[in-house]
A and B are shown apart, each in its own frame.
Chain A
Amino acid sequence: MAEPRPIPFHPEQFLQRTQAHHGGILGIGYRAHGADWAELDLPWKHELVGDPASGVLASGPIVALMDMATSVAVWMKRGGFVPHATLDLRVDYLRPARSGATVIGRGECYRLTRAIAFVRGIAHDGDPDDPVAHVAGTFMSTGATP
């Protein structure tokens, strides 16, 4: 099987193009990227709250943020966009994010094979040394380029 050729990928433009979809509805935006990592952010808003009494964000949007941040990290390390599917994603909720605070998700791709990408990351609300969540997961390339 021929390996799919990555197509050029620009994380900032990619995040803008997906604004009409789930990530955009949540408000996920671009912050920064490097050779094998990406940082996205999720500003606090009422519609994302899971516990109305405390104003704490639901964990679902944090899963979405980290799925996207780690996906972008994979495409950075692969040198371009190749479609992939999330195989599994584990999230440890270390503490609640502060109500009203923007959550920053930093994803890293620490190992890439032809078929599988291994990722990890953290989410924090201002201090990377005091994260709100830790994630680990894998993605599988789904073959043909679109």
Chain B
Amino acid sequence: MKLPPYAQLLGLRVEPDADGAPILVMPFGDAVMGRPGFVHGGAIGGLVEMAAVAALRHALADEGVSVKPINLTTDFMRGGRDADTRAAGHVVRLGTRIANVEAFAWQDDCHRPIAAARINFLLVR
């Protein structure tokens, strides 16, 4: 999966899970830090949105569809510390024109999310 320039700025890499679904990994560093020692909320927002796009691309398995985010709602649950942050998306509904996707970000324990997002995409086929 080819990542856009913004994903490279965040330092993202893709690590597929056991089923081949993409998990995005964002290492901690100055580029993603907000207040000292914590990940910037904007970087977390960018990461979960990228994870949602990756999950949707994986579900579509078709480069011919362009996906456009309509809106994004992010809940920030815990501060992101000095550690790798991982994120994965889950396509809740894949329609003809609209896809509803959830995404979570976590650090050491995937059952303790640091952020959750819901993103609605317009699909242009």
Contact = CB atoms under 8 A, between A and B. Distances in A.
Interface of A: 18, 20-23, 25-26, 46-52, 57-61, 63-65, 67-68, 83, 85-93
Nearest to B79: A85
A21 B46 contact: no
From A21, A51, A65, name the one whose CB has the most chain B CB atoms within 10 angstroms: A21
Given A47-B8, A58-B6, A63 B33 contact: no
B49 interface: yes
A58 B4 contact: yes
A25 B42 CA distance: 12
Given A47-B5, A59-B69, A61-B6, A88 B45 contact: no
A22 B73 CA distance: 21
A136 B27 CA distance: 28
Given A25-B31, A58-B4, A63 B45 contact: yes
B19 to A, nearest CB: 26
Interface in B26-81: 30-35, 40-43, 45-47, 49-50, 68-76, 79
The 3 closest A-B CB pairs, nearest first, are: A64-B42, A60-B46, A58-B6
A101 B66 CA distance: 23
Contacts of A47: 5-6, 8-9
Contact of A85 (B30, B50, B74, B76): B76
B75 A21 contact: no
A23 B49 contact: no
A133 to B, nearest CB: 9
B88 to A, nearest CB: 16
Contact of A46 (B5, B40, B69): B5
Given A49-B6, A58-B4, A60-B49, A86 B41 contact: yes
Contact of B76 (A22, A52, A68, A86): A86
Given A63-B46, A87-B76, 7 more contacts: A48-B9, A58-B49, A60-B49, A87-B75, A88-B74, A91-B73, A93-B71
Contact of A21 (B8, B33, B71, B79): B33
A52 B45 contact: no
B10 interface: yes
Contacts of A50: 4-6
Contact of A60 (B8, B30, B33, B42): B42
B31 A22 contact: yes
From A20, A63, A87, name the one whose CB has the most chain B CB atoms within 10 angstroms: A63
